[in-house]
Amino acid sequence: MSNGLSSRLRPRVLGLGLHAAFALPRPVRRAIAGPPLRLDGQELALDAQLLLKLQATTGSTKLSAASTAKARAAMNEGVQMINHTSVPGVAVGERRIPTPSGELAARLYRPQELEEPGRLLLFFHGGGWVLGDLDSHDDLCRYLAKTAGVRVLSVDYRLAPEHVFPAAYDDAMASWNHVVDKAAELGTRPEWIAVGGDSAGGNLAASVAYQTSRSGGPRPAFQLLIYPAVDATARRRSREIFGNGLLLTDEDMTWFMDHYVPEVADRSDERLSVLLAEDLSGLPPAYVATAGFDPLRDEGEEYARRLAGAGVPVVARRFDDLIHGFANLRQAGTRFTEACSEIAGALRTGLALAEPAAK
Query: Contact 269/275 with Cβ under 8 angstroms?
Result: no
Tell me which of 125, 137, 259, 324 is the catalytic residue.
324
Tell me which of 138, 294, 298, 321 is the catalytic residue.
294
| CA 15 centroid distance within chain | 22
Would you give the end-to-end CA distance of the chain in angstroms? 62
Other beta carbons less than 10 A from residue 220's beta carbon: 29
Residues 6+ apart with CB under 8 A from 187: 110, 114, 116, 117, 118, 120, 151
Interatomic CA distance for residues 228 and 203, integer angstroms: 5
DSSP for 68-105, please give it: HHHHHHHHHHHHHHH--S--SSEEEEEEEE--TT--EE
Say whether 320 is catalytic.
no
Please give the order of strands across the beta sheet that includes 104-111.
90-97, 104-111, 151-155, 120-124, 193-198, 223-226, 286-293, 314-323
Query: Contact 90/108 with Cβ under 8 angstroms?
Result: no
Residue 35 DSSP SS3: coil
Interatomic CA distance for residues 216 and 213, integer angstroms: 6
Say whether 137 is catalytic.
no
Say whether 324 is catalytic.
yes
- Count of positions (residues) in the chain: 359
Residues 6+ apart with CB under 8 A from 12: 80, 81
Interatomic CA distance for residues 107 and 154, integer angstroms: 5
Tell me which of 199, 213, 238, 273 is the catalytic residue.
199
Catalytic residues: 199, 294, 324
